[in-house]
Structure 1
Amino acid sequence: MGRGERDTVARGARLYEAAQAVVDDHARAVEAARAALKPINDAAVKRELDAIPVARLQDVTEGRLRLGSVEKSGLRTVGSVLEAGPYRLRQIPGVGQRTADQMLAAAHRLSEAAHETVAVHIDVDRPEPSTTVLVTALHVLVEAGPDARRAVDKAAALSERLGPSLADARPAAGRIRMLLAGQEKKARVSAAVTEVRALVDEAEQTDLPGLLAQTSVDLLRTPASDVAAWVDFELRSAEYYSLLAEISGRQPDAAAAEGFLPDEIAERVRTQHLDDTHRQVSLRGYQAFGARFALAQRKVLLGDEMGLGKTIQAIAVLAHLAAEGQSHFMVVCPASVLVNWTREIEARSALRVMVLHGPDRHYAFADWKGRGGVGVTTFDALRGFPAPGGGEVGLLVVDEAHSVKNPQAKRSQAVAEWTEHCGRALFMTGTPMENRVVEFRNLVRMLDGDVADSLGERDALAGSVAFRKAVAPVYLRRNQEDVLTELPSLQQTDEWEELSASDEEAYRDAVRAGNFMAMRRAAYMRPEKSAKLDRLREIVQEAGANGQKTVVFSYFKDVLGVVGEALASELAEGTAVFGPLTGGVPAGRRQQIVDDFAGVAGPAVLLAQIQAAGVGLNMQAASVVVICEPQIKPTVEHQAVARAHRMGQVRPVRVYRLLATGGVDERMVRMLEAKTRLFDAYARRSAVAEATPDAVDVSDTELARRIVEEEQARLGLTDERVTAVE
């Protein structure tokens, strides 16, 4: 054994130490989060037990306990019984050792149940020392990202393989020991050295040492400040809650997370491998199951309720198939979400994405055919592209699939043709389809004709055993309340829209006039071709289909008028539209409008001017909020959202901010984020900021002037007047 063997052992030892360090660093980071979670969880359990009357112990013991004297002694809740303990209980007249033991055993059973079910909610508007410690601990793991989990898994697998071989190879590091060793031992050491060399070479070829080193650095890095951690939590709350659910070990009911699929299908899905090589986002358990379902069943309809991350699940499927060697994918969606799809794919994966839309779409399609990647197109544009050959497209994704439920429509026929020529298809819709058997069957027929034929009218009752069994091979739907055990109370989404040609014309006119306020509302001024309005309709219609109420905010009265007319003519029968609630409506009347909105059974829409409704009104009946345009004062936007997201809101609130690419919206978002993100996030947690939105906002006039000048320069327009800032 010479220097080469000694070097191999040394390299192996360094790699093994690095792998072990990553595993240990990750374990410490997880333990820090668990330790931070425990007192918060314990306090939540105590509140739960302190609210349970002592009479509930009768239910647990099937009525065997007599609790009258216990209540008379002042112990009126299960929490007080646990706090009292056996000695205090035995001092109560009529309570002996056996009764005390039975009471405590019953109380402990309720305590265990509370520990399993209580959910921790992180209140971003009222940070406390304990929640700050938790958010800071979670921040380390969230910031390290999916690469950290990937590195930990690889490090653990490498340690398991490398450890034994390295132990057998260590004698090669000592010359004298090898000289004295027998032939059998030398052969064993030589084989171990060969194995160590192979493992080290394999690791270095994939740059695993670099990944391990970076992960250790990431796991040891703390946030710059508590404020930075809280700001990051606001921006990525879903990722924090996903980690929180994983760390707490409190997973949703397995049957609900798996969509109540039959055992044989669920088992096939569970065993489906899911490759994360090209994915740059972590998945919740139910999301991973959804991606596996699409892979295992090949052609499916994912019908998860809005807010559960259908797009993320689709990206996970795309990333897996890309890792398997597939090169071409197609996403078909409404024009209103085209930009969102491209941004999500770019942000959440390492896949190449191409927009196949607009006047140059045929050139872009030819480029996609030649180079591959994820093509993103619209239903109408798809009709102009030739259907692929067999095996050419690895996956066809159809978003808002309920849009193609009519088999007579040309867009439906184009989707059906593409689906037939693709080996895999993933249809997605958040609109519940179970009660619309005819429409549902039309969608399913594109995926599996046999399943479609098995759906009879008698299976129309949603949730019926016959229906679930019949559609199980192709259909998966989960609801928020079933799968989000640690429920994010507020989910915020920026919806980026590409302006239509008509929108662009209206926008150019406003820029030419130097009218900043006209620029901000130009996207709604030609409603028949408005991209933002199209997306707003879709959001409201989907919320209504799920029985949810929606508040639509805008700064502008005329925008609310356009929105009201559009919704009144297109919403499903029985969906009431209230408002608009504007500054001209007397204060007493405003509250009456809100009360009427809240009092309606089922879906409803409230239109409200953001500065008129942002303070003093409680709109917690709404679980969906749409903001028509970004606000000059971010605090006004925060306060408006807080009208719905506040004490008494029992459902999570989903906030959509409608933004147009390439113009005033994008410039406003970028400027305001750069100038006020950290300061605003800190300052608005004070009473002053809550009472006075102007306290932390940049100058309206200066912001408007800069944006108008930049837009005039970008569009080649020379009029430099700035009007209508206020």
Structure 2
Amino acid sequence: MGERRKAGGGRVGRDERDVVARGARLAGAARNVVGDHGRAVEAVRAVLTPIHDAAVRRELDAIPVARLQDVTGGRLRLGGVEQSGLRTVGSVLDAGPYRLRQIPGVGQRTVDQVLAAARRLSEAAHETVAVHIDVDRPEPDTTALVTALHTLVEAGPDARRAVDRAGALAQRLDPLLADARPAAGRLRMLLAGREKKARALAAVTAIRALADEAERARLPELFAQASVDLLRGPASDLAAWADFELRSAEYYSLLAEISGRAPDAAAAEGFLPDEVAERVRTQHLDDTHRRVSLRGYQAFGARFALAQRKVILGDEMGLGKTIQAIAVLAHLAAEGQSHFMVVCPASVLVNWTREVEARSALRVLLLHGPDRHDAFADWKGRGGVAVTTFDALRGFPVPGGGEVGLFVVDEAHSVKNPKAKRSQAVAEWAERCARTLFMTGTPMENRVAEFRSLVGMLDGGVADALGEGDALAGSVAFRRAVAPVYLRRNQDDVLTELPSLQHTDEWEELSASDEEAYREAVRAGNFMAMRRAAYLRPEKSAKLERLREIVREAGENGQKTVVFSYFKDVLGVVREELADGTALLGPLTGAVPAARRQQIVDDFAAAPGPAVLLAQIQAAGVGLNMQAASVVVICEPQIKPTIEHQAVARAHRMGQVRPVRVHRLLATGGVDERLVRMLERKTRLFDAYARRSAVAEATPDAVDVSDTDLARRIVEEEQARLGMTDGNPVERAEA
């Protein structure tokens, strides 16, 4: 006790020394995690640089010398250069000035111009050429790249969060620790002048406050876990490749970030006017309750919704509008908001609840079915993210001002008709909520009347100012007119990497009609009928409704779709449902001769604009290339996972110029859920090994579970669940 004095006395005691030591440990942990992350990033760069250089070289070797004329406006005389055997830009750069000067008729001025033009093309190639990771032909260098990236992907958003906070904390602590150095020992304090002593004691106070704040935020644990994750030994090649196949978008996102080949800033910001874009850039985005990393354009989209308060997010399908919405919800929850409402079509209810649960720490409640009013009361009392349908929304009381932190409307084009009751209900909620986020992947630029109706629910002033001629004046003028409320980005603008593969499990709740057909199939012990029960009564099929939405949105965006099913009769039902207004090809089945199959695929690729190809999965899953399709729909889960992988590989392969999105239609609570759960029990590593094996590719039966045993088990379990234990024996799975 005698050692301690008041701060004004200029003496330092154990308490002050402990605070300085505590601050030094915290700063050391912060610097360590930043350093660990930096080394993981450098490991990626070390592998990436030679791969990228080789890709650039291949590009330059493929550019004919004649292209140098384009760069110089046709001023060059290249006849002598080409006649000397230098046919490509790459060979010109290799030749250099000495060899070029030896070419008859080529003077120093031409040499300088040729090399300057070649270097400009080389610089452009370095900026634009992206690295392709080919999962079908893994080379040692790409394997090393995937393995290095795997460390960062596995560390996940928590590691990135730790690095960001560690950097900010170290920046604040380092100068304070320098000022507090005299307080680290009694002798130092005695020898320090009055001004240094006062500064040291003030720094100790600030360090204590920072350390207490860090403890409350559990930053030491966050830093420690991040360092462990970043220092974990490299994964095996097979494990890294397996993870890449499952999460390729995350790998490519990191790759684009580390390589510095980010999308054009104006495109990523939806070509917003500078004044709007600047306001959005300065908007803080809290990630405390978020469990997913955002790409740059996604973070901008979330900030746009926060900064502008009532907006339409109109990104093209596949750019992650749901993730952006969840980022907004997580931010507002961190600010203290407790109640959120999401309204969407019934077909995506389950997807919304699963996405919120997987991508955030927020509580989610489904307000659907006969108990929806009880669920609404629970939400009113306890808060969380409520998810409901347009029809159900009409039955809930409209909130008071400030009660709902964010009102999200998915597939907002569904409420473009102001006379519809669902549109009126949404408009009333939007008016009462301080923040509203409409989401639609359907391009609205050329439908001014419909678009004005949506905008009017958010900002009457912008809607009134939006005239019919604005869309005709060009996209730039249109976007400027609607910039306060509308943000749209296209895939071509913001996805700089080579095509990624995005899998989405589309969980649907069976309609009453679907459920009745399913029970009949279970009662009969007919496994194959159970698998296709969701399509037996098309007029009220939940899966067909979602399939129509996917195909419609793909068509609106000019994309081609391939629809796979194991069952020919399901493809027949799909064909009838899509017959109006859609360019349909197929069905491509096992009964179609091989030559005719290829002709169908060629016709599909040649079709102008959007088209749909129907294909039996076991007939079209092997041997045919369908890279014209960038949207794949699988109507039901397959018994053999290899069949799905092979089918998807027909579209997601070299030559594909757009990211491929795979939608697997699944029904909750029955055979689909049991199939998915059983097949997921296999480990990732085994599944990857099976896919890598040439034998397994040729003979899926060698690596998958027995069809008959699996079918019998599922039928028996479903009969027991539905109280039909005296049901009929299962039919053969191959039926």
- Scaled by the length of structure 1, the TM-score of the pair is 0.96
Q: SS of 1:478's equivalent?
A: coil
Q: 1:708 to 1:120 in 2, by over 3 A?
A: same
Superimposed CA distance per residue, residues 458-515 of structure 1 (whole angstroms, 9 cap, x where no aligned partner): 2343844432222221111111001111143322221111222222222222222222
Name the CA distance, whole Å, in 1 between partners of 2:393 and 2:474: 34
Moved more, 223-232 or 172-181: 172-181
Matched, 1:224 2:231: no
CA RMSD, aligned part only? 1.7
Partner of 1:420: 431
Distance in 1 (CA, whole Å) between partners of 2:398 and 2:45 is 52
Partner in structure 2 of residue 485 of structure 1: 496
Q: Tell me which amino acid in the other structure corresponds to 1:410.
A: K
CA 1:223–1:700 in structure 2 vs 1: closer, same or farther (change >3 Å)?
farther
Moved more, 188-197 or 398-407: 188-197
Q: Deviation string for 1:599-658 (max 9, x for gaps)?
A: 321111111111111123222222211000111111111121222223332222221111
In the TM superposition, 1:578-593 aligns within 5 A as 578-593=585-600
Q: Is the 8 A contact 2:504 2:663 kept in 1?
A: yes
Which among 631, 637, 660 is matched to residue 653 of structure 1? 660
2:7 alignment counterpart: none
3-state SS of the aligned residue for 1:654?
A: strand
**Cα pair 2:56 2:129 within 8 Å, conserved:** yes
- Identify the match of residue 722 of structure 1 among 694, 710, 730: 730
Of residues 597, 609, 612, the one that matches 1:605 is 612
Unmatched 5+ stretches in structure 2: 1-11
2:640 maps to which of 633, 641, 645: 633
- 1:675 partner SS: coil
Count the aligned residue pairs: 722
What is the CA deviation profile of residues 185-241 of structure 1, one whole-angstrom value per residue up to 9, with x for unaligned ones?
A: 333322222222222222112211111111100111134311111111122111111
Does the CA contact (< 8 Å) of 1:139 and 1:229 recur in 2? yes
- The Cα offsets for residues 110-144 of structure 1, whole Å up to 9 and x where unpaired, read as 11111111122222222111111111111111111
- Choose from 114, 117, 121 the match for 1:106: 117
- Tell me whether 1:373 sits opposite 2:380 in the alignment: no
Note the 1:479-628 alignment, pairs <5 A: 479-569=490-580, 573=581, 575-628=582-635
1:289 corresponds to which of 300, 307, 331: 300
Q: Which deviates more, 390-399 or 226-235? A: 226-235
1:271 and 2:282 equivalent? yes
Matches within 5 A, 1:151-166: 151-166=162-177
Partner Cα separation in structure 1 for residue 130 and residue 192 of structure 2: 61
Greater alpha carbon shift after TM alignment, 674-683 vs 69-78: 674-683
Determine if contact 1:20/1:159 at 8 Å carries over to the other structure: yes
Question: Conserved in 2, the CA contact under 8 Å of 1:514 and 1:719?
Answer: no
Return the alpha-carbon distance in structure 2 between the equivalents of residues 32 and 517 of structure 1.
50
**Aligned pair partner of 1:42 in 53, 77, 84:** 53
Q: What code does the residue aligned with 2:714 have?
A: I
Kept in 2: contact 1:419–1:447 (CA 8 A): yes
Q: Percent identity?
A: 86
Q: CA distance change for structure 1 residues 522 and 267 in 2, over 3 Å: closer, same or farther? A: same
Separation in 1, partners of 2:181, 2:358:
45
Give the direction of change, closer, same or farther, for the CA distance of 1:181–1:601 in structure 2 (3 Å limit).
closer
Map of 1:60-99 to 2, 5 A cutoff?
60-99=71-110
**Conserved in 2, the CA contact under 8 Å of 1:126 and 1:685?**
no
Counterpart in the other structure of 1:689: 696
**TM-score where L is the length of structure 2:** 0.95
SS at match of 2:180: helix
1:71 CA drift (Å): 1.2
CA deviations 1:137-193 (Å, max 9, x no partner) are 111111111111111111111111111221222333323333344444333322222
Q: Please state how far the C-alpha of 1:98 moved relative to its aligned partner.
A: 4.3
Q: Alpha-carbon deviation of 1:358? A: 0.8
Give the whole-Å Cα distance in 1 for the aligned partners of 2:623 and 2:538.
Answer: 31
Q: Helix, strand or coil: the match of 1:396?
A: strand
Write out aligned runs for 1:184-583 (5 A): 184-461=195-472, 463-569=474-580, 573=581, 575-583=582-590
Stretch deviating more after TM superposition (682-691 or 293-302): 682-691
Tell me, yes or no, if the aligned pair for 1:331 and 1:374 is still in contact at 8 Å. yes
Structure 1: runs of 5 or more not aligned: none
Q: Please tell me whether the aligned partners of residues 513 and 719 of structure 1 are also in contact (alpha carbons under 8 angstroms).
A: no
> How far apart, CA to CA, are the structure 2 residues paired with 1:600 and 1:62?
36
Q: How does 1:169-180 map to 2 (within 5 A)?
A: 169-180=180-191
1:128-167 mapped onto 2 (5 Å cutoff): 128-167=139-178
Q: Give secondary structure in 1 for the equivalent of 2:341.
A: strand
Q: Which amino acid aligns with 1:719?
A: D
* Contact 1:435/1:462 (<8 A) preserved: no
Quote the Cα distance in structure 2 between the aligned partners of 1:185 and 1:618: 74
CA distance in 2 between partners of 1:150 and 1:451 (Å): 37
Residues of 2 paired with 1:414 and 1:6: CA distance? 63
Amino acid at match of 1:602: G
28, 40, 62: which is aligned to 1:17?
Answer: 28
Find the aligned partners of 2:611 and 2:621 in 1 and give their Cα distance. 19
Contact 1:615 1:640 in 2 (8 A): yes
Find the residue that maps to 1:658 and give its secondary structure. Answer: strand
Moved more, 664-673 or 59-68: 59-68
Q: Judging changes above 3 Å, is the alpha-carbon distance between structure 1 residues 184 and 460 closer, same or farther for their aligned structure 2 residues?
A: closer
